[in-house]
Amino acid sequence: MFSERIITWQRMHGRHDLPWQGTRDPYRIWLSEVMLQQTQVATVIPYYQRFVERFRDVDALATATIDAVLSAWAGLGYYSRARNLHRCAQVIATEHAGQFPRSAAELERLPGIGRSTAAAIAAFAFGERAAILDGNVKRVLARHFAVAGHPGASTVERALWAIAEQQLPDSDIGAYTQGLMDLGSSICTRSQPQCPGCPVRTTCIARRDGRTAELPSPRPSKARPQRAATLALIRDDCGAVLLERRAPAGIWGGLLSLPEFEAEVSDSDLARQIELRFALATSVIEPMEPVRHEFSHYSFVMHPRVVRATRTCAAAEAAGVEWLGPDRFEHAALPAPIRRLLELNVARETT
């Protein structure tokens, strides 16, 4: 059987030493599953370890401020995950007495937990016989059972879910679930799959028919939109940088970032807009090199300009605005590209 071969292979060749393995704690399993969405394991591990040191359980996460959560998440990307994580912890603490629901169906009702994530938590923490379908598993099933079409298309996804449900073993659900993930991560990779080491190679249709390169079908191509903006890196006489709190929803929601202006704004207009927006007398010093950052759906080209502001260093901060000195950059809730810009500017200022 397909599932039996996956289980046997996982026990012998799968991953067993990841920091979130060897536990039935639904909090740690949930945290790892959310972090692993669209993020590689090697990237997740240090973030996961720091996160559980800072927020040891669901109650600690629920009582933390959103700024503290975003700060711990900064650099991991897809920040809606962090906001949903915080909201979900609060729901578990207030509506479930701090205890995770034990079924995939109940878990799926919580903020930020989709069908596959709910199934993974239920399988690993509570042993429920529930099917997962993350990106790696979609690739394994699409190749093995020759399911054509882009897995993100609704009809293709429904077909893959049906297969995932059909292949569930009667027991050893944890080893099977982990095995599917491990197989997609290490053997049935997107390019150059290692078919000789695959435990289900003898029944894989894509391997038999020489279709591993075409399955699963790629996302239909379309022009990638581009957005550009001027970012004002405003520094005062004490070396602190002005940062704005972004709106809770949207890209970099809830994080601190540099104020944005039109991409083609002139130096004089930029100074005038900063004066109106922040009541600061400023002078534009020089532009920095443009920086391109790729989001999932568009490219963002940032044109930073260093701006010198005159203000009293001990002046109170306006609502939604913070002045941060370089000693606070490391632990602030900043998007990774913005943190790199600030660190680069500091390095330039000190050379």
Residue written as tokens 């900064």? 74
Find the catalytic residue in 4, 33, 244, 289. Answer: 33
As a residue count, the chain comes to 351
Known catalytic residue: 33? Answer: yes
Distance (Å, rounded) from C-alpha 82 to C-alpha 263? 29
Distance (Å, rounded) from C-alpha 296 to C-alpha 52? 27
CA–CA–CA angle 172, 174, 179 (5° rounding): 100
Cβ–Cβ under 8 Å, residues 68 and 26: no
Pairing verdict, β 291-294 and 299-310? antiparallel
User: What's the N-to-C CA distance of the chain in angstroms?
Assistant: 65
Beta strand ranges found along the chain (DSSP E): 226-235, 241-245, 256-257, 260-261, 281-287, 291-294, 299-310, 321-324
Cβ–Cβ under 8 Å, residues 152 and 164: no
H or E element at residue 212: none
Report CA-CA distances (Å) from 288 to 5, 307, 319.
56, 11, 28
Pairing verdict, β 226-235 and 299-310? parallel
Smallest CA-to-CA distance from 64 within 39, 43, 85 is with 85
Which residues are identified as catalytic? 33
